[in-house]
Amino acid sequence: MNGLGAAMREAAEDVDVRTGFTGDVLRGGRRRQTRRRIGIALAAAMVVGLAGFSAGLAVQHRADVPHALDGRLLEPTKGNLANDPARLRSATAVWQTSLTLSWKYDRGVTELQGEPHVYWVATTEAGDAAVVMQAAQVRNQWRTLVGLVGRDPADGSQKLLGSTSPGDPDGDKESFQFGPGDRTFLMVDPRISVYLSPSATRNAEGVVRRTWQEVPIVDGVGLWTTPEGADPSTVRLVTSLGPPTVSDIPLERQLNTYPASAYLRDGYHARRNGEPDTNSRRWQPVFPAGSLLFGAGGTPPPETDPEPILRQAGVLDIGPRAYISSWNVRGTTGDGTGVLVCEALEGSGPGVLYAVLYRPDGTPDRVVRGSAVVATSPAPVRVHLPDGRGWVVASAEWATLRYRTSPTGEWLGAVANAALFPDDAINVQVSPTNGAQAEVVDLPR
């Protein structure tokens, strides 16, 4: 036996598996366990159905047994209020009242099946809350709808504070955000560990760093409340076999939430926790859509979506998508380095400039995080490139740009719209083409 084991290890020594393989195996095992339990439950249900039929009771198969039964619909209610009939009735009534025609239409629901099941009901820091589930046909597939019923801080009444949308590829995450200030997070047990990070920091290169803590699962749910004064929009939840060690966590492992206040106002169209508000005045295009070119000679980098590059570099936080500007500035430096400058908007902060540096063969080399963008300012955007490569400067006013290297030095350059200025430049003069007065801006180190 020992010889066989050694031979097998030697044969498998150079075999590699894809990322996430272990988690998929574990989840597959759990799904097989669940299917076995469902098979037993269905067999029992058939026995009960036959007994009822023989006693003269008409059993409606479609109303009682979904095509793809979720084993949780057969489990007894969990939580410290599970034995309170009035609370169960109240949660079920709120759920049923909330499933309006428009709600069903938004989620692609064509048929509800069986009765709602209160999976969990308990007291929380944000008041009594209940997780309600029901089988439904969503776009020709049988799925389990999951919702959170709880108190609306605005008027104190019980409402549907959030629900899954199985028709949306990322809308079936059974995680919710509710209570005063949307500070309390609840996640239904995903059968794998859940980790939470309250906020993010950045190192000197702008790379995002997060620390993670495991969320205990008790009675089938995990609960966590943001401390008073902390910003809940920076909280991130993920599933993982152990504490995450990278910042770029796949979307399928992120438990995105919708703040209850936004869900009650906008329903299906609510923005997810931490998603930028693109209707805000702070997100105004600095330039018309398209590229401004700078530099002479060389081949500018391709006009590709820079978001995957920024994410791979770790300068964008996980969570809801970042918004990348429709404009960019492209060109080459004197040593043949390609440069692409764009703006990214995340969370509630201002837009930030990023410069992607490319190797001569056109592959991305590194990302440099620049300054914040003040959308209402007429000042040009500017990014200081590393290793003495200079300054990329571009103007929103379609202006003539000049630079100087001392406070009383001569203005040099006279380049339209976008330019690469020397590393020792200290000021830029922006002269609008409409004849408005020229403006001088600093190039801070």
Q: Where are the beta strands (DSSP E) in 346-389?
A: 351-358, 364-373, 381-385
CA distance 212 to 186: 17
Eight-class DSSP state of 286: S
Same structural domain, 142 and 95: yes
Which segment of 37-41, 62-66, 331-335, 415-419 scores lowest on mean pLDDT?
Answer: 37-41
Residues belonging to the chain? 445
pTM equals: 0.79
CA distance 348 to 328: 22
Same structural domain, 202 and 301: no
Same structural domain, 242 and 347: no
Handedness of CA 259, 263, 266, 267 (dihedral sign): positive
Same structural domain, 260 and 217: yes
Same structural domain, 257 and 387: no
The answer to whether residue 137 sits within a structural domain is yes
The answer to whether residue 3 sits within a structural domain is no
Tokens (6 digits) for 352: 């930030």
Which of the listed residues 64, 95, 121 is the one where a domain comes to its end? 64
Q: Where are the beta strands (DSSP E) in 165-270?
A: 175-178, 184-188, 194-197, 200-202, 208-210, 213-214, 217-218, 221-225, 236-239
Eight-class DSSP state of 281: T
pLDDT of residue 291: 85
CA distance 126 to 109: 30
The confidence band for 408, taking pLDDT boundaries of 50, 70 and 90, is very high
Q: Which ranges of 191-328 does DSSP label H, i.e. alpha helix?
A: 260-266, 307-313
pLDDT of residue 407: 94
In sequence order, what are the residues at sequence separation of 6 or more whose Cβ sits closer than 8 angstroms to the Cβ of residue 411?
402, 403, 404, 429
Same structural domain, 135 and 163: yes
Residue 311, number of CB atoms within 10 A of its CB: 18
User: Are 375 and 284 within 8 A, CB to CB?
Assistant: yes
User: Are 305 and 429 within 8 A, CB to CB?
Assistant: no
β-strand pairing of 184-188 with 175-178: antiparallel
Residues of the domain holding 96? 71-269
pLDDT digits (tens, 9 = 90+) for 61-120: 334 444 557 999 999 999 999 999 999 999 999 999 999 999 999 889 999 999 999 999
Same structural domain, 82 and 54: no
Higher pLDDT, 381 or 11: 381
DSSP tally for the chain: helices H, then strands E: 7, 26
Which of the listed residues 269, 304, 336 is the one where a domain comes to its end? 269
Mean pLDDT, all residues of the chain: 83
pLDDT of residue 31: 41
pLDDT of residue 6: 38
The confidence band for 381, taking pLDDT boundaries of 50, 70 and 90, is confident
pLDDT of residue 176: 98
CA distance 345 to 365: 22
User: Are 338 and 328 within 8 A, CB to CB?
Assistant: no
User: Are 383 and 392 within 8 A, CB to CB?
Assistant: yes
3-state secondary structure 217-233: EECCEEEEECCCCCCHH
Same structural domain, 53 and 24: yes
User: Are 323 and 305 within 8 A, CB to CB?
Assistant: no
pLDDT of residue 110: 94
pLDDT digits (tens, 9 = 90+) for 5-20: 334 334 434 444 444 4
Same structural domain, 175 and 247: yes
Report the amino acid identity of residue 392.
V
pLDDT of residue 284: 66
Which of the listed residues 209, 240, 269 is the one where a domain comes to its end? 269
The answer to whether residue 141 sits within a structural domain is yes
Whole-number Cα distances in Å, 426 to 121, 338, 407, 443: 63, 23, 8, 5
Domain count within the chain: 3
Same structural domain, 247 and 119: yes
